[in-house]
A and B are shown apart, each in its own frame.
Chain A
């Protein structure tokens, strides 16, 4: 007898486990099940929109295109949702052709830019490509996997924008993107399981916390990113506004559209209130510097970013040197080669610095020591004899330029060995002559300088500078709260022989003048020190208060070298209370009071309304309740309060004992009967309900009136209507 397995019906298991290749291909290309989650689509749209707006915020997309793209994505999402169960097949073909066209345009744009040498960054074409792809794709997102693609592309868009972001405000986009992406992924999981319930907030919060924790850990572990600036050297202008004149720094402005306005004395005008970067630098002025970021700098090494120097001192102000009029004009366009002014110092690797201008600035290009090459999109630049670089176009917010400096600072040890004296040829140089001039002899300052130098047995220039710096550091104090200079008073004498308090301008000027009395050429340098470093943008945020003044000393063998005496000066021991008060006051004053006031007013109004509404709701609505409340109030005034567990009748009985012959017990009985009778609800507020007779109403009101008269009180402002319902 032959043995064989009994025949079994074909089941779904078989269909899963043994399918042909054709069937597999057919299934792979079958349209996926449509996704019905509205929330998933909304958060995906938010994520995509965040990427688009982020690209617009960093200038990778124009505002009209960004707005148009955002609206198109929204319309596409709605269309996709409406047609998710029956997608238009012919539309897929149109969209596919559109995507190919967009990609072809992207490639063509890249090739064009590469051919003309204008391809400084790939981000802008990429942002355009991803934006267009998102717009096209938004019209065909019926299923979950399509929405996931949109989420991934949104991440790419935000990343492209992040590559150009230099501000901390980009955090807003990152936060919105992160939240929308997490909610979108959670919706995706829900959609996968067919769960239609809303995404639990607890799970989302836990996921968000975990993601942020992991991201922070990764940021700590990963090495700090540092731009390879040799690849691209950014330089761009937001607007080309040529400046009239010779390119000198001019505080008044030479054209109505010229935004190059240096600070004004006594107020936060111009460059954060700094009075420098102008024709004269008046040491008598007391400017107030703000915290606003005026520019951001990406630099290989932080340093003193020199703006300009002054070599003419008149006792109160530093003035631009007359010999500066013979500045060199560099033409030919970017990059500009700066004439070599170095003296063969210890040149280290070049320092590439890219400046991102955030506030209108004077037409100065800042740089560390010995700028050699400048990438700036203007037709010409002007290099002063002091080495300062000046633009011939306005430095508007959004301007970007790159400077490569030699940074050939000579170490103090090397300078200490320099015993060479000024040659007659060097002494004949106008810049050296100007750096030695004094308006008068400064006998006290000169005597002090000689005494310090002799006491310190300083024979070399470096030793003399160091001795003077040390004395200033030991005998003066740093303070921005110094009294104004009296008219005609010399700023250096006031500082050295007065209260010896001052800030960088007084301190550096005192050093420069003392050096000049010793026959050492010195001049005042102003610029910026690096502000706080932002690791997210790899930029130093230079604030208005980072404006600084220091001294440049001429060494016959090494040229002008920087010395900062302020670094050694301790802070003045001011009254801690006044410092704290001043700090608190400045912070309070900086608060945005208009929106705070509006919010506060709205809050007070809202609280008032809620309180009124709460009181209104607590007020009894029935006639019996209102009468009972009145009875309680009158009883309380009589010193007999109602106990919490006491019924109205029990309370009235107690009142009757204390205040007999008022009919309070009878009134309470009427009120209880009215309150708990079927027709107890009033027809209108304060009107006795049907079922309460007129004499009963009169009995109640009479009893309350009598009680009020007994207590010497009149009935209150509100008196319930005694109209009986008929």
Chain B
């Protein structure tokens, strides 16, 4: 814009010095074109209305999320939060906008930068808008490293079978110490009671539901990591046909419920803990010109 103003000033100076009123008139018309071209997009971008007309209900962190948006006037729409590549919108024509959510959570709106250079295409003016989604999008965490490998290694293909004695699992009772038992297994109360060294005896019950507790820290990055691990663990358990009870904290309430599939787990984890998409700022901000 500053370049255009300098150009016009030089033009006007030349026109004035040349004494040709026509040059001055042409300079004035060029100035009018510049002024209208440079300032009218501000008005145009304020008048343009953009809305999200379609969105999925589920997404995954780190995976593209496509929503359908529509504008009343031709404009350019650049997703800010979640990020994504800009798209050009034609007036009244629904267009796919690809978002790239990098965090799990519940997405109720998105932040975009709406830009227009109408009607002469000389300068872009843009404004930041918050677009409400027609439905909440549950962004599940991406899959991470599965936990509880000991548990999984004991399961067969089906994950079903008899209860098996194991070093870990539920406490079944106590037995006399044999050579080779781990000293950590010594059950001191029964040892004291019987007067001989006793060790704990545990067993695994494959048919019982596995309780997975998701404790997500306040730190967003750590919470994301934790959630991704929980999701992978739950997914692995589900793949082994284990019944999983997922315990999460949603909106301050402890919720423990069986998850039927991975999508349900993802939704639960999306709602767990602090929602990173909760604060997306004001609905709109004043337009500013974009070089």
Chain A residue nearest to B225 (CB atoms) is A3
B36 at the interface (CB under 8 A from A): yes
| Cβ-defined partner of A9 (8 Å) among B62, B83, B84, B225 | B62
Mark B199-238 against chain A: 1 for CB-CB distance below 8 A, else 0. 0000000000000000000000010010010000000000
The B-contacting residues of A in range 178-236, CB under 8 angstroms, are 178, 181-182, 185-186, 188-190, 192-195, 203-204, 207, 210-216, 218-219, 222-229
Known: A8-B142, A12-B85. A535 touches B28 (CB 8 A): no
Q: Are the CB atoms of B23 and A159 closer together than 8 Å?
A: yes
The A-contacting residues of B in range 112-147, CB under 8 angstroms, are 117-122, 142-145
> Complex formed: what's the CA distance from A498 to B212 in Å?
126
> Complex formed: what's the CA distance from A190 to B117 in Å?
10
A13 at the interface (CB under 8 A from B): yes
> Complex formed: what's the CA distance from A185 to B41 in Å?
13
| Cβ-defined partner of A188 (8 Å) among B18, B31, B120 | B120
> Complex formed: what's the CA distance from A445 to B134 in Å?
102
A545 at the interface (CB under 8 A from B): no
Chain A residue nearest to B222 (CB atoms) is A3
> Complex formed: what's the CA distance from A351 to B19 in Å?
15
Q: Which residues of A contact B31 (CB under 8 A)?
A: 214-215, 218
> Complex formed: what's the CA distance from A162 to B222 in Å?
69
| Cβ-defined partner of A186 (8 Å) among B27, B28, B84, B119 | B119
B69 at the interface (CB under 8 A from A): no
Q: Which residues of B contact A243 (CB under 8 A)?
A: none
Closest beta carbon of chain A to B170's beta carbon, Å? 24
| Cβ-defined partner of B119 (8 Å) among A17, A181, A207 | A207
Known: A5-B225, A9-B62. A222 touches B24 (CB 8 A): yes
Q: Which residues of A contact B35 (CB under 8 A)?
A: 211, 214
B37 at the interface (CB under 8 A from A): yes
B150 at the interface (CB under 8 A from A): no
> Complex formed: what's the CA distance from A174 to B22 in Å?
9
Chain B residue nearest to A187 (CB atoms) is B121
Closest beta carbon of chain B to A4's beta carbon, Å? 8
Q: Are the CB atoms of B37 and A185 closer together than 8 Å?
A: yes
Closest beta carbon of chain A to B42's beta carbon, Å? 13
Q: Which residues of A contact B286 (CB under 8 A)?
A: none
Q: Are the CB atoms of B18 and A11 closer together than 8 Å?
A: no
B285 at the interface (CB under 8 A from A): no
B15 at the interface (CB under 8 A from A): yes
| Cβ-defined partner of B75 (8 Å) among A164, A170, A193, A212 | A193
Q: Which residues of A contact B122 (CB under 8 A)?
A: 185
Q: Are the CB atoms of B121 and A8 closer together than 8 Å?
A: no
Closest beta carbon of chain B to A617's beta carbon, Å? 38
Q: Are the CB atoms of A211 and B26 closer together than 8 Å?
A: no
Q: Are the CB atoms of B64 and A11 closer together than 8 Å?
A: yes
> Complex formed: what's the CA distance from A645 to B269 in Å?
75
| Cβ-defined partner of A6 (8 Å) among B17, B117, B143 | B143
Q: Which residues of B contact A8 (CB under 8 A)?
A: 62-63, 142
Mark A224-257 against chain B: 1 for CB-CB distance below 8 A, else 0. 1111110000000000000000000000000000
> Complex formed: what's the CA distance from A158 to B23 in Å?
9
Q: Which residues of A contact B257 (CB under 8 A)?
A: none
Q: Which residues of B contact A158 (CB under 8 A)?
A: 26
A432 at the interface (CB under 8 A from B): no
B residues contacting the other copy or chain, number (CB 8 A): 53
B243 at the interface (CB under 8 A from A): no
Known: A174-B22, A215-B32, A219-B28. A192 touches B117 (CB 8 A): yes
Known: A8-B62, A189-B121, A219-B24. A229 touches B19 (CB 8 A): yes
Q: Which residues of A contact B21 (CB under 8 A)?
A: 224-225, 534-538
B111 at the interface (CB under 8 A from A): no
Q: Are the CB atoms of B142 and A163 closer together than 8 Å?
A: no
B88 at the interface (CB under 8 A from A): yes
> Complex formed: what's the CA distance from A188 to B33 in Å?
14
B40 at the interface (CB under 8 A from A): yes
Mark A146-162 against chain B: 1 for CB-CB distance below 8 A, else 0. 00000000010011001
> Complex formed: what's the CA distance from A12 to B117 in Å?
25
The B-contacting residues of A in range 373-428, CB under 8 angstroms, are none
Closest beta carbon of chain B to A629's beta carbon, Å? 49
Q: Are the CB atoms of A225 and B36 closer together than 8 Å?
A: no
B91 at the interface (CB under 8 A from A): yes
Q: Are the CB atoms of B90 and A185 closer together than 8 Å?
A: no
Q: Which residues of B contact A219 (CB under 8 A)?
A: 24-25, 28
Known: A165-B22, A185-B121. A193 touches B29 (CB 8 A): no
Q: Are the CB atoms of A227 and B32 closer together than 8 Å?
A: no
Q: Are the CB atoms of B84 and A194 closer together than 8 Å?
A: no
Chain B residue nearest to A229 (CB atoms) is B19
> Complex formed: what's the CA distance from A193 to B117 in Å?
10
Q: Are the CB atoms of B90 and A194 closer together than 8 Å?
A: yes
Closest beta carbon of chain B to A156's beta carbon, Å? 10
Known: A212-B32, A215-B32. A185 touches B120 (CB 8 A): yes
> Complex formed: what's the CA distance from A452 to B119 in Å?
73
Q: Are the CB atoms of A211 and B33 closer together than 8 Å?
A: yes
Q: Are the CB atoms of B32 and A203 closer together than 8 Å?
A: no
Mark B174-186 against chain A: 1 for CB-CB distance below 8 A, else 0. 0000000000000
Q: Are the CB atoms of B23 and A225 closer together than 8 Å?
A: yes
| Cβ-defined partner of A215 (8 Å) among B28, B90, B120 | B28
> Complex formed: what's the CA distance from A551 to B119 in Å?
61
B255 at the interface (CB under 8 A from A): no
Chain B residue nearest to A164 (CB atoms) is B20
Q: Which residues of B contact A188 (CB under 8 A)?
A: 120-121
Q: Are the CB atoms of A190 and B74 closer together than 8 Å?
A: yes
A298 at the interface (CB under 8 A from B): yes
Chain A residue nearest to B64 (CB atoms) is A11
Q: Which residues of B contact A535 (CB under 8 A)?
A: 21
B30 at the interface (CB under 8 A from A): yes
Of A13, A194, A229, A534, the most chain B CB neighbours within 10 A belong to A13
A594 at the interface (CB under 8 A from B): no
Q: Are the CB atoms of B88 and A194 closer together than 8 Å?
A: yes
Chain B residue nearest to A12 (CB atoms) is B85
The A-contacting residues of B in range 56-92, CB under 8 angstroms, are 62-64, 74-76, 83-85, 88-91
Given A211-B36, A219-B25, A225-B20: 10 more A-B contacts, CB < 8 Å: A3-B225, A6-B228, A12-B98, A17-B83, A159-B11, A174-B26, A186-B121, A193-B90, A227-B20, A538-B20
For this complex, 9 residue pairs linking A to B, each with C-beta atoms less than 8 Å apart, are A6-B145, A155-B26, A163-B23, A192-B117, A193-B89, A207-B36, A226-B16, A536-B24, A537-B21
Interface residues of A (CB under 8 A from B): 3, 5-6, 8-9, 11-13, 16-17, 155, 158-159, 162-165, 170, 174, 178, 181-182, 185-186, 188-190, 192-195, 203-204, 207, 210-216, 218-219, 222-229, 298, 534-538
